[in-house]
Amino acid sequence: MKQFLKVLTRIILIVCGALCLLAALAFLLVANLFKASPGDIREGNESLKQIFISLDLPPEKVESNGSYQYEGGGLDFYVTFSDEIINSHPALKESPNLTKNRLKVYVLNTGDISYHSVEDNLFNHGLFQFLEEESRKYFQEIGKKSNPSYFILSWRDPESMKKGIAFYEKALTLVDIQDNSAIKPHDTATLKPGKEAEFRQLIQEMDEAGLLTQRSE
């Protein structure tokens, strides 16, 4: 009987060990399936670095662990800036995605890195939406048709993005932004009292600079 129990114990230990090994291998396999390759990470780091350099926002470092999120997919890159760069650029300093000196940039995959993905992660969505709404009102006032299913603010190249950042930083001085992060996906931007004329002038100047264009995406 004792001999039988010893044999049974050994069998159970072997089976448990095999199951643990299989579980570990399965975990490693799943982890690798949800992780970008080292080459893709390096390419993504370099792409983001060059985009920010072209915007006169040279980063000190760009990094990512390459892990894709299990819910919704996508992965995060972290762009580190010097104090000097952050303090001289309100768009960066006031970004909701900035923690200390690191800007989090979320992308669906490493091949999705573009000026649009930088725009989407750099700007406050509440203020950007407010600018979009006010631009549509401006179009109506001057008799210019706008398609509600199209984006009016769409800065997808270094030239328009650099101009857009300058106007966005002016807009930051004309509005109050209410932090809604606890209850809503976007903050709420409202004009400061007495700033209506300045803001109207800002929208007009954006139009004259060619920054109000309609695109489907």
How is 172-188 classified by DSSP, letter by letter? HTTEEEE--TTT-SS-E
Indicate whether 25 belongs to any domain: no
Asked which of 122, 141, 165 is the last residue of a domain, the reply is 122
Q: Given this model, what pLDDT does residue 11 score?
A: 63
69 and 96 share a domain?
yes
Q: Are residues 162 and 198 in the same domain?
A: yes
% the chain with pLDDT above 90: 52
Last residue of a domain, one of 122, 143, 161: 122
Inside any domain, residue 201: yes
Whether residue 8 lies inside any domain: the answer is no
Domain boundary among 122, 156, 190: 122
Rounded alpha-carbon distances, angstroms, from residue 3 to 10, 13, 15, 62, 76:
11, 15, 18, 62, 57
Helix, strand or coil, per DSSP, at residue 41: helix
Q: What is the pLDDT of residue 26?
A: 38
Cα 51 from Cα 48, distance rounded (Å) = 5
Q: In this structure, are residues 117 and 105 in contact, taking their beta carbons and an 8 Å threshold?
A: yes
C-alpha–C-alpha distance, residues 215 and 217, integer Å: 6
3-state secondary structure of 108: coil
* Number of domains forming the structure of the chain: 2
Residue 18 maps to a domain: no
pLDDT digits (tens, 9 = 90+) for 123-152: 999 999 999 999 989 988 888 877 766 667
Angle at 69 between CA 117 and CA 153, to 5 degrees: 20
Least confident of 23-27, 58-62, 170-174, 205-209: 23-27
Q: Are strands 98-99 and 175-178 parallel, antiparallel or unpaired?
A: unpaired
- Structural contact between residues 75 and 64, judged by C-beta atoms closer than 8 angstroms: yes
CA dist 90 and 199 (Å) reads: 17
Average pLDDT of the chain? 83
pLDDT at 82 over 60: yes
Shared-domain flag, residues 103 and 148: no
Q: What contacts 78, CB < 8 A, 6 or more positions away?
A: 62, 63, 64, 102, 103, 104, 105
91 within a domain of the structure (yes/no): yes
Query: 60: domain range?
Result: 38-122
What pTM, to 2 d.p., does this model score?
0.78
User: What is the residue-wise DSSP string for 132-153?
Assistant: HHHHHHHHHHTT----TTSBS-
Specify the pLDDT at position 217: 54
Over range 191-201, report the average pLDDT: 95
Pairing assessment for the beta strands 175-178 and 188-191 based on DSSP bridges: antiparallel
